[in-house]
């Protein structure tokens, strides 16, 4: 018989055979657990989400553990535990290596949590790497990165630098920006005053 594909972010690199029911059940159970965690995060039930993610990060499947680590980084960022979020993001970036299709997005998030810890120079360096990695992504990811960087400089008492960063924001589709913000909502910084940005 042929093969069947199904959407599962933590699915194995090869599509399982139709008769591979045991693997399908494991993937389905894992995906249900991830969906449950995301539901808890939406409801801001951080302790329960953390407890479930701790189990998933201990998974013998490195893809499942990596996905859980990225969600754990979101929980940490949402609850002000920026050092833990940074550590978790760095671990995932290292695990994923050079062919990381989500590198721009991960660096965009890393830039924010490093900046929230007051390490502005390092956050600027990460922002530059994020912008380089985001070139092949949606322009809205570049907007997200620059908007957060402008806020960081404005909050650090550098309104001229914030204005300069805002002037670099490219054109983008509103729906795309809403999508990027939804995916990275725990890393979204407040808007700068209207006299600085748009």
Range of the domain at 113: 104-198
Residue in the structure block whose two tokens are 């983008």: 172
Which of residues 49, 81, 100 is at a domain's end?
100
pLDDT, residue 28, reads 74
Average pLDDT, the chain: 85
Q: Give the C-alpha separation, 90 to 103, whole Å.
A: 11
Please indicate, yes or no, whether residues 141 and 180 belong to a single structural domain of this protein.
Answer: yes
pLDDT, one tens digit per residue, over 69-100 is: 999 999 999 999 999 999 999 999 999 887 78
**Is position 13 within any domain?**
no
For residues 132-160, average pLDDT:
90
Q: Please give the structure tokens belonging to residue 63.
A: 């893809």
Please indicate, yes or no, whether residues 123 and 194 belong to a single structural domain of this protein.
Answer: yes
Residue 164 contacts residue 192 (beta carbons within 8 Å): no
Please indicate, yes or no, whether residues 94 and 116 belong to a single structural domain of this protein.
Answer: no
Q: What CATH number corresponds to the domain at position 198?
A: 1.25.40
**Non-local CB neighbours of 107 within 8 Å, separated by 6+ positions:** 93, 126, 127, 129, 130, 133, 134
pLDDT, one tens digit per residue, over 104-121 is: 899 999 999 999 999 999
- Cross-strand bridge partners of residue 103: none
Which of residues 100, 128, 162 is at a domain's end?
100
Split into its structural domains, the chain has a count of: 2
**Is position 47 within any domain?**
yes
**Is position 11 within any domain?**
no
Q: What is the pTM of this model?
A: 0.79
């Amino acid at each position: 018989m042929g093969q069947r594909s199904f959407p599962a972010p933590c699915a194995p690199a090869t599509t399982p055979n139709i008769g591979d029911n045991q693997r399908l059940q494991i993937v389905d159970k894992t995906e249900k657990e991830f969906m449950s965690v995301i539901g808890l995060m939406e409801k801001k039930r951080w302790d329960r989400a953390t407890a479930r993610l701790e189990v998933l990060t201990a998974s013998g499947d490195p893809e499942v553990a990596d996905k859980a680590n990225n969600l754990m980084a979101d929980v940490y960022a949402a609850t002000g535990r920026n050092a833990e979020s940074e550590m978790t993001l760095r671990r995932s970036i290292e695990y994923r290596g050079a062919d990381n299709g989500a590198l721009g997005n991960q660096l965009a998030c890393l830039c924010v949590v490093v900046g929230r810890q007051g390490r502005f120079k390092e956050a600027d360096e990460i922002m530059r790497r994020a912008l380089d990695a985001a070139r092949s992504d949606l322009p809205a990811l570049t907007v997200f990165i620059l908007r957060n960087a402008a806020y960081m400089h404005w909050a650090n008492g550098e309104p001229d630098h914030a204005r300069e960063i805002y002037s670099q924001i490219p054109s983008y589709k509103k729906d795309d920006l809403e999508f990027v913000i939804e995916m990275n909502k725990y890393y979204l910084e407040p808007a700068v005053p209207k006299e600085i940005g748009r």
